[in-house]
Structure 1
Amino acid sequence: MEMRAPEEIEIGQDITPPILPLAFTLSDSSLHSHCSSCFHPLNPKIPKPKPNNSHNPVPIPCNSHCNSSLLYCSHHCRHADADLHVSSGECHLFLQSDTSTWPSELSQLRLALRLFLCFQKLGFLSPEFLVSGRIGGLMSNREKFDIPGRIREGGRIMCLARRMRDGRFGNVVGESATDEMVLCLVLTNAVEVQVSEGRTIGVAVYGPGFSWFNHSCSPNASYRFSLTGFIGEPGSLEPGFRVTPCGEEGTFKAWNGDEDKLTNGSCKYGPKVMIRSIKSIKKGEEVCVAYADLLHPKMLRQSELWEKYRFVCCCDRCNSSPLTYVDRILQQNAANHSTCLDLDHSLCVEEAYRELTDCLDQAITEYMSSGNPESCCEMLEKMLIESSKTEQSQPLEPSPSNFKLHPLHHLSLNSYMTLASAYRIRALDSDSDKDNQLEAFELSRAGAAYSLLLAGATHHLFSSDSSLIAPAAHFWISAGESLMGLVKSSKWSSIIKKSSGFNLSSLLTQRSGKCLLLTELELGFVLRDGFDVVCKGFLACISRISPKVWPFLVHGLPYLKDINDPLDFSWLGMTARHEAQALIGGCECEGVAYIEEETIWKGLVLFALHCLLYGGYLTSVCYGPHCYLIGHVRNLLYGGEGSSLSENVENIC
């Protein structure tokens, strides 16, 4: 099955209405922190409910006596979900003593039990529906899972939970075939629900209206989640479907072409999902989204897609010969820009690559488990220094004993991501101690530098493949936030005092007259100019600021000091970078000199503003103007004031 556009669709347009799930559940780690019905966060510190608030932050237990620890934010949410919790058998799953035999998250089994009940209510578990290997139009892929022991065990646990629900006990051998099929359908079709800071808080299965969108490693659409309210809430203007399902006739007839069934299942609440175009889509073109991390090279994407969804991707990016620029650069050895034909050399490179991968995985695992960001930073920076190119101007000679990481290798990008987070945590910990505020500033500076390098590297790849708009948006916002945290440091106290306590709404007077990009981006993230013009104009602006503030950011950092420019990677020998031309109204984002502290601060402020506003613009294209990231950007810019930056500004150049 697939979805195609019956008409031309421009970039940045919603192409489905909000789609409610067939079934959903919180991840195991979110059971104590989020409402099991609406997925909104709970706040147990508030002793009393706020009046006239439908989402009461005081946790309310499910009262099913199953020790599940399911919590709800209001009686309304508990009433909507608690019966499903019990009647699906999920309640009795928590009462079992041997669920430890299931090697993955219990959320997969809990979701499968809820989905089983949904299919029962819809009448989709009768033999005529099961014979095709699909349930409700969704593929189960039962025959493709080569780990039958795991599937059988999961089906056994599900079947036992449902028998306990019905007051039946005993051997379940031979009764779990349908449970296994539903479980495989969950493993094949479930999607992680991510909102607010990109953290996975739950999993959900949606009907064909969402699940029939196929994967591509160079997609033309993206999806976002919304936790706002229940279906049928007044005042919401929702678009209809702008795609047409195509494929197996019998499969489509199973849903009778019913748009309500394509849109929603039995749920009338839960996390909604919506599809949005990230490229211009031609009439008749297939609309695809990404199931895998697009910043992974081909070999990792293929492995991830097979492990999770049991298919081999044959999209244009994966079938490209030679590899696309992005895939070459994400996996290429910096010491060898040509294809290596020497077997011994190739084996040695593979071994070195595995060692670096193990080092990265070990550092991240220890960081997540022990909470020791300092050790993580030391381990990753040592790895980067020892394995990086020493000169940016000339490629290294091939050496069978070395695997050199360049700044755009996917292991480098993952390292920057982890380092930016680890340095930020260290800075926050140090800032709480007044005696360590200078140390906190230095740590914050390092975190901002890694965050900026990550954004610049991703932008370089995004310039070659616009499918990377989502990570580019996230990383530019993260870089802007890190820079904003740096310029608010007490180190600049005298400068901040002169700037009215660093209120952005009063910092940018006259700025609009000097940088039309900032002015236009600030006006709701919607520009009159074309998408490519905006991207080139942004690069033109920050290319003028970067050389003046980058030396300050990387001073004393052994690995980063060898990175001459976080925006220009043309020295790699494969240029895909946009021309840095000021195409948006004669930008004057210049005048920052490294030698003057006050001017460095102003340059960092300008850089932060560009990052946040451009990241917000990309986000509005990718997810729409009302997503949580846009709210986050506006909060960083306005601090909740809601006033326009261009209303009261002051020239900071």
Structure 2
Amino acid sequence: MEMRACEETAMSRDVTPGIAPLAVALHDSFLSSHCSSCFLQIPPSRFAAADSVDAGDHPPSCGGCAGLRYCSVECRNDDLDLHASSGECHFIRLVHFDRRDETTDLRAALRLLCSVRNLGFLPPRGEPRRISGLLAGGHEQLEEGCELWLRIREGRMLMSRAREMLRNQILEGEDVNDGCDGGGETEAALWVVITNGVEVQIGEGRAIGIGVYGPRFSWFNHSCSPNACYRFELHGSECFRCDRGSLVYPSSTGPEDDAMPLHHLSLKAYTALASIYRVRGRGDGGGDAVPGGPEMARAAAAYALLLAGTTHHLFLSDPSLMATAAHFWVNAGESFLSLTHCPTTGWINLPEFDTIFLPGESSLPWDEFRGTSFKFVDCVSRIASKVWADMVSGIRCLSEIKSPVDFRWLGEKNMPHESLGACGAPDSYSGEGRCVGCRCEVDDGVEDDSGTVRRLAVHCLVYGGYLATLCYGPRSHCVDRIRSLPTR
């Protein structure tokens, strides 16, 4: 869906505000190193001053349980009230001396209960079991004695006891009634967290916590911290039976749509396949070689580039997809970067790299932006043409795609009027032997596949960073992450 501004809006201004979560909680292993409010990592220098006499050198923390730390006094003040009023402080003190399993879901459930009660979203007793629009029923059908049933039962007891301690209704040595008092609410909240919680990543490439969002969350990231949102839409027409021995068409519902990469089913398939191959190619992280790992990494990179190319093609007709296109270009660049297995120092001149990310003007004419985009993508198309055939060798559905970024081979009827202008776009190379779009050195001579893949990775990263700069500004985390890659 395209968004149109009601008034003149400067470039690099985020017009899609962040979606506030109902509840978030850090994983136990990150409680001591990350801020429990904004989820950002606390600088190690703050911990190095632990022996300092000056208390101001220490990271702010909760004085009641000392279990949560914050990067600033402001973050502590923003979070401490919810931490205390939810019973999380008492909960951490309960489990502090008892080495239990991960407690992230239990702490998130306590915060969720407190948040929805403050917002007035907690349903009365007897009403359909929904909390803030999220389905909270169904756990009653769990098989008694199964792992999940035991987890909910134990969690209910701990959460109820922490809430009773908060209300000062427990005397020393008194029985807590197995947490059954008010256990229905705690069970429902814990089930909401288990079934609706999503992982939260703040640019570290790993999940550092979980978050629970309301029913209005969507699949794209709104650049809010912490934030992780997804939507899944399933329709019966997408599931069909394949005849034995017939070709599989992941991008269509039949042979007549074969090799149609712009179909909405294709985009869903590319997203899933790129993620699956990337994860399988990395293995379990133990350092052991994964059987077929290089082939899986190669397939992941090919799907990532095709996904970036198709998203860019749609973006030319719908500018609201700019942030999504930036995300996929960066993913493609990182996927190709992982294939090289070598340092990238010296690929690109950092001062000139910064000039791309710092356009200097808050607004950019559409024609100028479109021309720059065409130059970048033309550069990527030229480089990709040298390695694409080898990349997709053995992958039947990809081998039928002639180019992952230039879709003129599909015919004029499948091309929007904007992208047809690419045929007349200025050449991407200047007379000085440099790429106009990304200012990289151009080598038209003989280059091995490894060098070509490295150059392709750089172009994808630079163009993704260029789009990210226009979306979020030159000082966003996404841009900083890309800028750090060439110097690693």
Q: Aligned residue for 1:523? A: 359
Residue 459 (structure 2) pairs with residue 610 (structure 1): yes
Taking a change above 3 Å as real, the CA distance of residues 619 and 525 of structure 1, as seen in their structure-2 partners, is: farther
8 Å Cα contact 1:34/1:42 also seen in 2:
yes
Taking a change above 3 Å as real, the CA distance of residues 523 and 465 of structure 1, as seen in their structure-2 partners, is: closer
User: Take 1:176 and 1:453, find their aligned partners in 2: how far apart are those partners?
Assistant: 50
Structure 2 matches for 1:424-443, cutoff 5 A? 429=287
- Any gaps of 5 or more consecutive residues in structure 2? 96-100, 143-151, 171-175, 430-434, 437-441
User: Take 1:560 and 1:93, find their aligned partners in 2: how far apart are those partners?
Assistant: 52
Q: Match for 1:505 among 326, 346, 349?
A: 349
Taking a change above 3 Å as real, the CA distance of residues 216 and 416 of structure 1, as seen in their structure-2 partners, is: closer
Taking a change above 3 Å as real, the CA distance of residues 224 and 527 of structure 1, as seen in their structure-2 partners, is: same
Taking a change above 3 Å as real, the CA distance of residues 82 and 561 of structure 1, as seen in their structure-2 partners, is: same
8 Å Cα contact 1:427/1:444 also seen in 2:
no
Shift of 1:187: 8.6
Taking a change above 3 Å as real, the CA distance of residues 5 and 118 of structure 1, as seen in their structure-2 partners, is: farther
8 Å Cα contact 2:121/2:132 also seen in 1:
no
Taking a change above 3 Å as real, the CA distance of residues 25 and 469 of structure 1, as seen in their structure-2 partners, is: same
1:234-274 CA-to-partner distances (Å, cap 9, x unmatched) read xxxxxxxxxxxxxxxxxxxxxxxxxxxxxxxxxxxxx5x7x
TM-score (norm 2): 0.62
Q: Match for 2:230 among 268, 284, 292?
A: 292
Q: Aligned residue for 1:566? A: 404
Q: Aligned residue for 2:385? A: 547
Q: Aligned residue for 1:238? A: none
8 Å Cα contact 1:426/1:443 also seen in 2:
no
Q: Aligned residue for 1:636? A: 485
What count of residue pairs does the alignment treat as equivalent?
437
Structure 2 matches for 1:277-426, cutoff 5 A? 292-293=230-231, 298-299=233-234, 348-349=241-242, 387=248, 396=255, 408=266, 410-423=268-281
User: Take 2:336 and 2:294, find their aligned partners in 1: how far apart are those partners?
Assistant: 11
Taking a change above 3 Å as real, the CA distance of residues 62 and 405 of structure 1, as seen in their structure-2 partners, is: farther
The one-letter amino acid of 1:597's match is E
User: Take 2:324 and 2:273, find their aligned partners in 1: how far apart are those partners?
Assistant: 15
1:117-149 CA-to-partner distances (Å, cap 9, x unmatched) read 4677x6x6699x979x9xxxx97237x655263
8 Å Cα contact 1:56/1:73 also seen in 2:
no
1:214-250 CA-to-partner distances (Å, cap 9, x unmatched) read 5578x9xx62124xxxxxxxxxxxxxxxxxxxxxxxx
User: Take 1:543 and 1:130, find their aligned partners in 2: how far apart are those partners?
Assistant: 59
User: Take 1:22 and 1:559, find their aligned partners in 2: how far apart are those partners?
Assistant: 42
Residue 48 (structure 2) pairs with residue 48 (structure 1): yes
Shift of 1:474: 1.9
8 Å Cα contact 2:17/2:222 also seen in 1:
no
The one-letter amino acid of 1:480's match is G
Shift of 1:635: 1.4
8 Å Cα contact 1:30/1:201 also seen in 2:
yes
Q: Aligned residue for 2:469? A: 620
Q: Aligned residue for 1:455? A: 308
Shift of 1:414: 1.3
2:402 partner SS: coil
User: Take 2:319 and 2:75, find their aligned partners in 1: how far apart are those partners?
Assistant: 43
Shift of 1:630: 1.0
Taking a change above 3 Å as real, the CA distance of residues 25 and 410 of structure 1, as seen in their structure-2 partners, is: same
1:159 partner SS: helix
User: Take 2:389 and 2:58, find their aligned partners in 1: how far apart are those partners?
Assistant: 49
User: Take 2:163 and 2:285, find their aligned partners in 1: how far apart are those partners?
Assistant: 50
- Any gaps of 5 or more consecutive residues in structure 1? 97-101, 227-270, 274-289, 304-327, 332-345, 353-382, 399-403, 432-438, 491-495, 513-517, 641-653
Shift of 1:629: 0.8
Taking a change above 3 Å as real, the CA distance of residues 529 and 225 of structure 1, as seen in their structure-2 partners, is: same
8 Å Cα contact 2:39/2:202 also seen in 1:
no
Shift of 1:475: 2.2
8 Å Cα contact 2:137/2:188 also seen in 1:
no
The one-letter amino acid of 2:422's match is Q
Shift of 1:186: 7.1
The one-letter amino acid of 2:132's match is S
Structure 2 matches for 1:109-128, cutoff 5 A? 109-117=106-114
Cα root mean square deviation, aligned: 6.0
Shift of 1:581: 1.2
Taking a change above 3 Å as real, the CA distance of residues 419 and 386 of structure 1, as seen in their structure-2 partners, is: farther
The one-letter amino acid of 1:149's match is E
TM-score (norm 1): 0.49
Shift of 1:633: 1.3
User: Take 1:619 and 1:535, find their aligned partners in 2: how far apart are those partners?
Assistant: 13
Q: Aligned residue for 2:36? A: 36
8 Å Cα contact 1:520/1:526 also seen in 2:
no
Q: Aligned residue for 1:202? A: 209
8 Å Cα contact 2:334/2:457 also seen in 1:
yes
Q: Aligned residue for 2:133? A: 141
Shift of 1:609: 3.5
1:546 partner SS: helix
User: Take 1:196 and 1:525, find their aligned partners in 2: how far apart are those partners?
Assistant: 27
Shift of 1:567: 2.0
Taking a change above 3 Å as real, the CA distance of residues 592 and 452 of structure 1, as seen in their structure-2 partners, is: farther
Taking a change above 3 Å as real, the CA distance of residues 528 and 92 of structure 1, as seen in their structure-2 partners, is: closer
Q: Aligned residue for 1:278? A: none
1:24 partner SS: strand
User: Take 2:161 and 2:481, find their aligned partners in 1: how far apart are those partners?
Assistant: 44
The one-letter amino acid of 2:382's match is R
User: Take 1:389 and 1:204, find their aligned partners in 2: how far apart are those partners?
Assistant: 32
8 Å Cα contact 1:424/1:447 also seen in 2:
no
8 Å Cα contact 1:26/1:36 also seen in 2:
yes
8 Å Cα contact 2:199/2:210 also seen in 1:
yes
Structure 2 matches for 1:585-596, cutoff 5 A? 586-588=427-429, 596=446
